[in-house]
Amino acid sequence: MKIKTFPLFLVIIFLIIFVIFYKGLNNSNIYTPETNLKKNIPYFKVKTFDSEKLIESDEIFKNDKFYLINIWASWCVPCRDEHPFLVDLNKKKGLEIVGLNYKDNKKNAKIFLDDLGNPYDIILMDQDGTISIEWGAYGVPETFLIYNKKIIKKVIGPLDSKKVFEINELVK
Protein backbone atom coordinates (compact mmCIF):
# COMPACT_ATOMS: atom_id res chain seq x y z
CA MET A 1 0.00 0.00 0.00
CA LYS A 2 2.86 2.31 0.98
CA ILE A 3 4.59 1.72 -2.33
CA LYS A 4 1.43 2.62 -4.25
CA THR A 5 0.57 5.89 -2.49
CA PHE A 6 3.95 7.53 -2.98
CA PRO A 7 4.08 7.32 -6.82
CA LEU A 8 0.42 8.34 -6.93
CA PHE A 9 1.21 11.37 -4.83
CA LEU A 10 4.12 12.24 -7.12
CA VAL A 11 1.93 11.92 -10.21
CA ILE A 12 -0.72 14.22 -8.69
CA ILE A 13 1.87 16.87 -7.79
CA PHE A 14 3.35 16.58 -11.28
CA LEU A 15 -0.07 16.96 -12.86
CA ILE A 16 -0.89 20.06 -10.77
CA ILE A 17 2.40 21.69 -11.75
CA PHE A 18 1.85 20.73 -15.40
CA VAL A 19 -1.64 22.30 -15.43
CA ILE A 20 -0.33 25.53 -13.85
CA PHE A 21 2.51 25.86 -16.35
CA TYR A 22 0.26 24.93 -19.26
CA LYS A 23 -2.24 27.64 -18.23
CA GLY A 24 0.63 30.06 -17.75
CA LEU A 25 1.74 29.51 -21.34
CA ASN A 26 -1.44 31.13 -22.58
CA ASN A 27 -1.00 34.24 -20.45
CA SER A 28 0.78 37.21 -21.94
CA ASN A 29 4.09 37.94 -20.22
CA ILE A 30 4.12 41.54 -21.39
CA TYR A 31 2.91 43.95 -18.74
CA THR A 32 0.02 45.96 -20.11
CA PRO A 33 -1.28 48.77 -17.92
CA GLU A 34 -4.98 49.42 -17.68
CA THR A 35 -6.08 52.30 -19.87
CA ASN A 36 -9.73 52.78 -18.88
CA LEU A 37 -9.63 53.42 -15.21
CA LYS A 38 -12.33 55.99 -14.37
CA LYS A 39 -10.08 57.26 -11.61
CA ASN A 40 -10.29 60.65 -9.99
CA ILE A 41 -7.67 63.09 -11.14
CA PRO A 42 -4.90 63.79 -8.64
CA TYR A 43 -4.56 66.99 -6.70
CA PHE A 44 -1.31 68.88 -7.25
CA LYS A 45 0.30 72.29 -7.25
CA VAL A 46 2.27 73.20 -10.32
CA LYS A 47 4.10 76.07 -12.02
CA THR A 48 2.77 77.36 -15.31
CA PHE A 49 5.10 77.42 -18.29
CA ASP A 50 4.48 81.05 -19.27
CA SER A 51 4.40 82.96 -16.01
CA GLU A 52 5.92 80.34 -13.67
CA LYS A 53 3.05 81.12 -11.31
CA LEU A 54 2.10 78.36 -8.87
CA ILE A 55 -1.45 77.12 -9.44
CA GLU A 56 -3.59 74.32 -8.02
CA SER A 57 -5.06 71.55 -10.13
CA ASP A 58 -8.59 72.53 -9.03
CA GLU A 59 -8.13 75.87 -10.81
CA ILE A 60 -7.40 74.09 -14.09
CA PHE A 61 -9.93 71.27 -14.24
CA LYS A 62 -13.58 72.25 -13.93
CA ASN A 63 -16.70 70.09 -14.05
CA ASP A 64 -18.79 69.52 -17.21
CA LYS A 65 -15.87 70.05 -19.55
CA PHE A 66 -13.51 67.75 -21.41
CA TYR A 67 -9.79 68.16 -20.84
CA LEU A 68 -6.93 66.44 -22.56
CA ILE A 69 -3.73 66.44 -20.56
CA ASN A 70 -0.72 65.62 -22.68
CA ILE A 71 2.68 64.86 -21.15
CA TRP A 72 5.41 65.96 -23.57
CA ALA A 73 9.02 67.05 -23.82
CA SER A 74 11.12 68.64 -26.54
CA TRP A 75 13.69 65.83 -26.25
CA CYS A 76 11.06 63.16 -26.85
CA VAL A 77 11.01 61.97 -30.47
CA PRO A 78 7.52 60.33 -30.45
CA CYS A 79 6.15 63.66 -29.15
CA ARG A 80 7.10 65.23 -32.48
CA ASP A 81 5.12 62.53 -34.32
CA GLU A 82 1.97 63.05 -32.26
CA HIS A 83 2.13 66.85 -32.26
CA PRO A 84 0.15 67.40 -35.49
CA PHE A 85 -2.71 65.32 -33.99
CA LEU A 86 -2.77 67.62 -30.96
CA VAL A 87 -2.82 70.68 -33.21
CA ASP A 88 -5.85 69.16 -34.96
CA LEU A 89 -7.57 68.29 -31.66
CA ASN A 90 -7.13 71.87 -30.49
CA LYS A 91 -9.64 72.94 -33.16
CA LYS A 92 -12.31 70.81 -31.53
CA LYS A 93 -14.88 72.75 -29.52
CA GLY A 94 -15.52 71.78 -25.90
CA LEU A 95 -12.07 70.25 -25.46
CA GLU A 96 -9.28 72.01 -23.66
CA ILE A 97 -5.74 70.74 -24.09
CA VAL A 98 -3.39 70.98 -21.13
CA GLY A 99 0.30 70.38 -21.75
CA LEU A 100 2.53 68.96 -19.04
CA ASN A 101 6.11 69.71 -19.96
CA TYR A 102 8.15 66.80 -18.58
CA LYS A 103 11.74 67.27 -17.34
CA ASP A 104 12.54 69.72 -20.09
CA ASN A 105 14.70 72.70 -20.83
CA LYS A 106 12.39 75.70 -21.17
CA LYS A 107 14.34 77.19 -24.07
CA ASN A 108 14.20 73.94 -26.05
CA ALA A 109 10.50 73.55 -25.24
CA LYS A 110 9.82 77.02 -26.64
CA ILE A 111 11.74 76.22 -29.84
CA PHE A 112 9.74 72.96 -30.13
CA LEU A 113 6.44 74.88 -29.91
CA ASP A 114 7.62 77.60 -32.30
CA ASP A 115 8.56 74.95 -34.87
CA LEU A 116 5.53 72.69 -34.60
CA GLY A 117 2.81 75.00 -33.25
CA ASN A 118 1.27 75.34 -29.82
CA PRO A 119 -1.89 73.26 -29.40
CA TYR A 120 -2.07 73.81 -25.64
CA ASP A 121 -4.53 76.10 -23.86
CA ILE A 122 -2.28 76.02 -20.82
CA ILE A 123 1.15 74.50 -20.25
CA LEU A 124 2.35 73.26 -16.87
CA MET A 125 5.89 72.45 -15.85
CA ASP A 126 6.88 69.12 -14.34
CA GLN A 127 10.56 69.65 -13.71
CA ASP A 128 11.27 66.65 -11.50
CA GLY A 129 8.70 64.29 -13.06
CA THR A 130 6.71 63.86 -9.86
CA ILE A 131 3.47 65.33 -11.21
CA SER A 132 3.47 62.75 -13.99
CA ILE A 133 3.83 60.06 -11.33
CA GLU A 134 0.82 61.58 -9.52
CA TRP A 135 -1.09 60.97 -12.76
CA GLY A 136 0.14 57.40 -12.89
CA ALA A 137 2.17 58.02 -16.03
CA TYR A 138 5.07 55.86 -17.25
CA GLY A 139 6.92 58.37 -19.39
CA VAL A 140 6.50 60.61 -22.41
CA PRO A 141 4.33 60.96 -24.40
CA GLU A 142 1.19 60.08 -22.50
CA THR A 143 -2.30 61.53 -22.77
CA PHE A 144 -5.29 61.48 -20.44
CA LEU A 145 -8.86 62.44 -21.32
CA ILE A 146 -10.68 63.96 -18.36
CA TYR A 147 -14.35 64.65 -17.75
CA ASN A 148 -15.90 65.75 -14.45
CA LYS A 149 -12.51 65.43 -12.78
CA LYS A 150 -12.27 61.75 -13.73
CA ILE A 151 -9.80 60.09 -16.10
CA ILE A 152 -11.98 58.50 -18.78
CA LYS A 153 -9.24 57.47 -21.18
CA LYS A 154 -5.51 57.00 -21.00
CA VAL A 155 -3.23 56.78 -24.02
CA ILE A 156 0.26 55.44 -23.33
CA GLY A 157 2.65 56.39 -26.12
CA PRO A 158 2.09 58.75 -29.03
CA LEU A 159 -1.36 59.59 -30.36
CA ASP A 160 -2.25 58.26 -33.79
CA SER A 161 -5.29 58.60 -36.03
CA LYS A 162 -7.04 55.62 -34.40
CA LYS A 163 -6.58 56.98 -30.87
CA VAL A 164 -7.61 60.47 -31.96
CA PHE A 165 -10.77 58.96 -33.47
CA GLU A 166 -11.52 57.23 -30.15
CA ILE A 167 -11.02 60.52 -28.29
CA ASN A 168 -13.30 62.34 -30.74
CA GLU A 169 -15.99 59.69 -30.22
CA LEU A 170 -15.83 60.19 -26.45
CA VAL A 171 -15.87 63.98 -26.61
CA LYS A 172 -18.91 64.11 -28.93
Partner 1 sequence: MKYLKYIIILLILSTINLSFADEHETQLQNEITKNLRCLICQGQSIYDSDSQFANSLKILVEKKLSEGLSEKEIYEYFENKYGEWILYDPKFNKNTYFLWLLPILMFLLGGVILFKLFIIKKN
Contact footprint for partner 1 (CB under 8 A): 2, 6, 9, 20, 31, 33-34, 103, 128-130, 132-134, 136, 138-139
Query: Whose Cβ is closer to partner 1: residue 89's or residue 125's?
Result: 125
Query: Whose Cβ is closer to partner 1: residue 138's or residue 165's?
Result: 138
Please state the closest distance from residue 40 (CB atom) to partner 1, in A.
10
Q: Are strands 95-102 and 122-126 parallel, antiparallel or unpaired?
A: parallel
Please state the closest distance from residue 93 (CB atom) to partner 1, in A.
32
Cα–Cα distance list, 105 to 102, 109, 111, 120 (Å): 9, 6, 10, 17
- Collapsing DSSP to helix, strand or coil, 34 comes out as coil
Contact 73, 105 (CB under 8 A): no
Query: Whose Cβ is closer to partner 1: residue 18's or residue 138's?
Result: 138
Helix intervals (H) in the chain: 2-26, 57-60, 77-89, 106-116, 130-134, 161-171
Please state the closest distance from residue 129 (CB atom) to partner 1, in A.
3
Please state the closest distance from residue 169 (CB atom) to partner 1, in A.
26
Query: Whose Cβ is closer to partner 1: residue 95's or residue 100's?
Result: 100
In the structure, how many helices (H) and strands (E) does the chain have? Answer: 6, 8
Query: Whose Cβ is closer to partner 1: residue 73's or residue 164's?
Result: 73
- The CA-based angle 30-35-37, given to 5 degrees, is 130
Please state the closest distance from residue 70 (CB atom) to partner 1, in A.
17
Integer Cα distance of 17 and 160 in angstroms: 43
